[in-house]
Structure 1
Amino acid sequence: MLKEYREEIRELDEKILELIERRLEIARTIAEYKMDRDIPVTDAAQEENVIDHVVSLAKREDDVPYIRRFWRMMLENSRAVQHKVVTGDNITGLWLREMIRSAAKRKENPRVVYKGGEGSYGHEAAAAYFGTGGFGGCSTYEKVCRTVKNGDADYAVLPLESNTAGAMPGVRELINKYGLYIAGEQNVRLDDCLAAPKGARLEDITEIHAHEQVLARCSAFLEDHPEIKAVPSLSSSKCVKKIAEENSPHKAVITSGFAAELNGLEVIAPYISDNPGSCTRFVILTDKFEISPGGDKVSMAFTVRHRAGALQRVLGIFADYHLNLSKIESVPVGGADFEYLFFTDFTGDIAQANTQKALALVEQECDFLRILGNYKSKRRNIVLVGMPGSGKNAVGKALALQIGMEYYDTDALIEEQEGKDTTRIFAENGEKYFRDAETEMSKKVSSLGGAVISTGGGTMMRPENARALRRTGYVFFVNRPVEEILESVDLSNRPLLAGDPKQIYKLYADRLPTYRAVADYEVRNDGELSQVVNALDSIIELLKGGYRAV
């Protein structure tokens, strides 16, 4: 019986196809008529009349929503056909072509502003993105935007959203209000730590100072130390400076490792946040539109006409052109009742014809459309740490291949830079020289975004390396039993173990607490390679941010 039903549906599909083809031909003829008389392709009122007429003929009330949806899709396709007749294959709006043509170039040695004082997370994001430049802080988001708009700074760095708290109130509205553009993005982990003057010990601390919001997100640590008094402050940066200036061995501050280093403080308890994976996405703003090299992300703002299905039609265009929407958010339009401005991010490059065609069609569905930026996305890195011989290299290569990301080995990069292998670097230049090179390489690879990074066994023993790599990545400790390393790995080319491979037991015991402290996840490597890679892949799939290549 099922076979007969399917055959009947097959015959109906063939008849429907014939009718659709006839309808599209008529649509093309109508398009030519409109083109000759300069009539717009889109006629929303006529489309609604067509749908209402068809719905009125429906025999079953239950079928009405499906029929309405089907005919709306039919009309969208007819409209797309008409657009192609009127504009040809090149349906890029003149405004978009002009925008691409006049795009500004990235400024060198820029003046950069952020909200907050020296050592704030805004400052850290600016330093991570630009490396060098003139940095300065402002007291409010509005002042930051105004400073760039007035030409007193080249770029602004503002937080846009957090993976725990969502969108930062008011920032998107300010971007639109001041006509700023997004030139890039930088993810920064909120790595709260306890810092104090050098020489201070945790057991001697009687007061912990911090902004009240910072104290709230470190509640578990504070509960574990009831003997220490929590002192709230209104300014994080002033709080850090106060502790540094007083130089008391009994007072500490909760801040970032970045701020602690800037103010000459020492971290006495790292990673104390209740949610150590908390990350904030900062955007780099400028008053001139730029197209970043390798740009693969587009941000835009738009409003749609106030009629049924308007937003759905816009979103349908992105689906038709296979552009992945990664974010859509709405904010009320000031002065209008229940009107909304939509902000969206999608994977794309406005230099590509496919993206241009989609945006030209989107423009015709909108009352207002503004491209905010086309820039390179910064997905968080996947950082592998662990002992020499733990399999980080093999796991990293296989994982990068499986999830579609670039792979980097910091030891290999240092060897390429120095023109000799690690053993020779240790022998000819000394361990300190190698560790300094390791620190510089850690900073460099941490700025990549969206990469799998395998680190050397001793990389994370320097706090500044751990701080740089954690700032922009998730850290995975690949833990392999020492006995298996001794049995299967030739350690003669490992500088710290070449003389006595069994020294690995002591090395493992010394480094294990650090590996576990810096890591977000620990994965055992005591089985097949595929099992380890799949375990990592499963964890990554659960993480926010989307790691698989699209």
Structure 2
Amino acid sequence: MIDLQECRDEIDVIDSEIIRLFEKRMKVCEDVAEYKIRTGKKVLDPERERKKLEVLREKAHGEFNRLGAQELFQQIMAISRKRQYQLLNEHGVEDDEKLEMVDHLPLENVTVVFQGVEGAYSYAAMREYFSDEIRSFHVKTWRDAMEEVAEGRADYAVLPIENSTAGIVAGIYDLLAEYDLSIVGEQIIRPEHVLLGMPDASLEDITCVCSHPQALAQCGKYLEAHPGWKTREMENTAGSAKQVKEDGDKTQAAIASRQAGELYGLRILAENICYNGQNATRFIIVSKKPIYVKDAHKISIFFELPHESGTLYNMLSHIIYNGLNMTKIESRPIAGRTWEYRFFVDFEGNLKDSAVKNALRGIEAEANRMRILGNY
């Protein structure tokens, strides 16, 4: 009969030998890194790694071991690259600075654009984030807001990116990838959704409720309790209140803020209609200037990957290996490239941190495309 303890003892001996050989290999990798530092050669040589993995795979016996050997050496090679990126940083081989550090953001006597109309939550986020010493104007769409900043007609745009109940605002992520703007700040707003109708309306009169799709989703349980009501999607919550007022139809109601109701002279027909009492919306502040404040603590990036097995893990491993805390990951399909995705990642850190530099260097080198969206 096989003795389990003897097997374990033998494995311990083998593992110790593996550690010895691993450290020997890593020492040689450091010598390789020194050569690459002197010559300017890139750390990642994908064609050489591919050929090397093929050779190593075929040295193993049996299909299971071949797959295992391939996975093992993929990880060893990835660890080697991480050490080389670290040595590049230690030797002062810096990548070009993508963003410029500043002591503070200029927030007074600036022009700010928001999507929607006065009374919208974007307007409330703007008023919360900026001082009163600003010029502001509104536009119809999120793209319009991005365009105003890109063309220099506004210094900042305020855009919703995520709601704790309804999830991400997908269109904003796509625009962030399209426009070369930087996230320089964020503002959390806790929407207080109410049902607004004409001054002479009552709940019994309502047949149609209009609002932004996110607000309709956030109040879904309340709306389900009124199956006879139709819903109509609009571009923003305050705009839906404005539309109800302009139509003058007491069978219509809007889901919007209490402030929007006061602004347009509407009656509150129902309060507390959002089923999540902790409902909150995160807004981002974007600028054309590629800057970040020196005490920034959150980094947003996006990257695109080769359509191959394990590539997402390889990217995220740079964040994990450098001890960084990833707080969010989202994916969006890349237009025109079937089944390929762009990944958006938030993690804690500052662009001056060595761990952040190491992680970003590795991701940029190994992704098809990577961009820092902001440090804020």
With the shorter chain as reference, the TM-score category is 0.7 to 0.9
Identify which range, 314-323 or 84-93, moves more after superposition. 84-93
Distance in 1 (CA, whole Å) between partners of 2:188 and 2:370 is 27
Q: What is residue 123 of structure 1 aligned with on the other side?
A: 123
Distance in 1 (CA, whole Å) between partners of 2:39 and 2:297 is 39
Give 2:160's aligned amino acid: P
| 3-state secondary structure, aligned to 1:151 | coil
Distance in 2 (CA, whole Å) between partners of 1:171 and 1:32 is 42
| Structure possessing the higher relative contact order (Cα contacts under 8 Å, 6 or more residues apart) | 2
Give 1:283's aligned amino acid: I
Alignment of 1:213-362 (within 5 A): 213=213, 218=219, 221=222, 234=234, 236-241=237-242, 253-265=254-266, 267-292=268-293, 294-305=295-306, 308-336=309-337, 338-362=339-363
Distance in 1 (CA, whole Å) between partners of 2:338 and 2:216 is 39
Give 2:153's aligned amino acid: D
Cα separation, partners in 2 of 1:208 and 1:185, compared to 1, 3 Å: farther
Alignment of 1:13-92 (within 5 A): 13-86=15-88, 88-90=90-92, 92=94
Cα separation, partners in 2 of 1:12 and 1:152, compared to 1, 3 Å: same
Alpha-carbon shift at residue 111 of structure 1 (Å): 2.2
Alpha-carbon shift at residue 158 of structure 1 (Å): 1.5
Uncovered stretches (5+) of structure 2, i.e. residues with no partner = none
Q: Runs ≥4 in structure 1, deviation > 6 angstroms?
A: 228-231, 245-251
Alpha-carbon shift at residue 183 of structure 1 (Å): 1.3
| 3-state secondary structure, aligned to 2:170 | coil
Per-residue CA deviations over 1:247-283 (Å, capped at 9, x if unaligned) read 9999864321231233354545211135555443321
Q: What is residue 160 of structure 2 aligned with on the other side?
A: 159
Per-residue CA deviations over 1:195-214 (Å, capped at 9, x if unaligned) read 4577x7957x6347641655
- Does the aligned pair in 2 maintain the 1:196–1:243 contact within 8 Å? yes
Distance in 2 (CA, whole Å) between partners of 1:45 and 1:251 is 63
Alpha-carbon shift at residue 217 of structure 1 (Å): 5.7
Alpha-carbon shift at residue 141 of structure 1 (Å): 1.5
Q: TM-score, normalised by structure 1?
A: 0.59
Cα separation, partners in 2 of 1:206 and 1:337, compared to 1, 3 Å: closer
Q: What is residue 210 of structure 2 aligned with on the other side?
A: 211
| 3-state secondary structure, aligned to 1:42 | coil
Alpha-carbon shift at residue 82 of structure 1 (Å): 3.5
Per-residue CA deviations over 1:397-417 (Å, capped at 9, x if unaligned) read xxxxxxxxxxxxxxxxxxxxx
- Does the aligned pair in 1 maintain the 2:101–2:294 contact within 8 Å? no
Per-residue CA deviations over 1:468-499 (Å, capped at 9, x if unaligned) read xxxxxxxxxxxxxxxxxxxxxxxxxxxxxxxx
Alpha-carbon shift at residue 123 of structure 1 (Å): 1.8
Alpha-carbon shift at residue 145 of structure 1 (Å): 0.7
Larger radius of gyration: 1
Distance in 2 (CA, whole Å) between partners of 1:220 and 1:10 is 58
Cα separation, partners in 2 of 1:135 and 1:340, compared to 1, 3 Å: same
Q: What is residue 9 of structure 1 aligned with on the other side?
A: 11
Uncovered stretches (5+) of structure 1, i.e. residues with no partner = 376-550
Q: What is residue 111 of structure 2 aligned with on the other side?
A: 111
Is the helix fraction higher in 1 or 2? 1
Distance in 1 (CA, whole Å) between partners of 2:247 and 2:39 is 79
Distance in 1 (CA, whole Å) between partners of 2:324 and 2:124 is 32
Q: What is residue 93 of structure 1 aligned with on the other side?
A: 95
- Does the aligned pair in 1 maintain the 2:89–2:357 contact within 8 Å? no
Per-residue CA deviations over 1:71-120 (Å, capped at 9, x if unaligned) read 11111222233344555354541334xx3357983332432222212212
| 3-state secondary structure, aligned to 1:128 | helix
Alpha-carbon shift at residue 32 of structure 1 (Å): 3.6
| 3-state secondary structure, aligned to 2:324 | coil
Alpha-carbon shift at residue 318 of structure 1 (Å): 0.7
| 3-state secondary structure, aligned to 1:170 | helix
Distance in 2 (CA, whole Å) between partners of 1:295 and 1:341 is 24
| 3-state secondary structure, aligned to 1:94 | coil
% identity of equivalent residues: 31
Alpha-carbon shift at residue 147 of structure 1 (Å): 0.9
